[in-house]
Amino acid sequence: MPTYEYSCQKCGQNFEAFQSMRDEPFRECPKNLCRLPKWGHGKVKRLLGTGAGLIFKGSGFYITDYRSDSYKLQNVLQQQQPKRLQQSRMLSNIARRSGRSTYS
């Protein structure tokens, strides 16, 4: 639910309200927030806010969730490349110790 900012035309009070998008906007200044000595039933106006960032709660939201298939494939291949290089070096070391060639 978004937070809306309001301004009272009568008392000048600015306040925020945490409301559903389906709720009707406030029409008058809330009694508990009014700055006037006697509640003036001031007309309020909804202000344009800066908004808030999108917040994902819970697990399972990753930056790569909505990537293209080609991007995902490229990423997988890049992650496997160091493993293949390490395996190749291990085989070369074993062959060198045993006196065998890895390319025969």
Check the CA dihedral 13-14-18-22 and report its sign. Answer: positive
Considering the domain architecture, whether residues 11 and 42 belong to the same structural domain is answered as yes
Determine the structural domain holding residue 92 and report its residue range.
64-104
Considering the domain architecture, whether residues 41 and 73 belong to the same structural domain is answered as no
Cβ distance 25 to 48 under 8 Å? no
CA dihedral 48, 6, 57, 68 (to 10 degrees): -10
For the chain, what is the domain count?
2
10-residue mean pLDDT series, the chain (104 residues): 86 86 88 83 83 68 71 79 73 75 54
Quick one: pLDDT at residue 89? Answer: 76
Quick one: pLDDT at residue 61? Answer: 65
Considering the domain architecture, whether residues 104 and 71 belong to the same structural domain is answered as yes
Q: Is residue 56 part of a domain?
A: no
Quick one: pLDDT at residue 51? Answer: 64
Quick one: pLDDT at residue 20? Answer: 86
Q: Is residue 35 part of a domain?
A: yes
Quick one: pLDDT at residue 103? Answer: 57
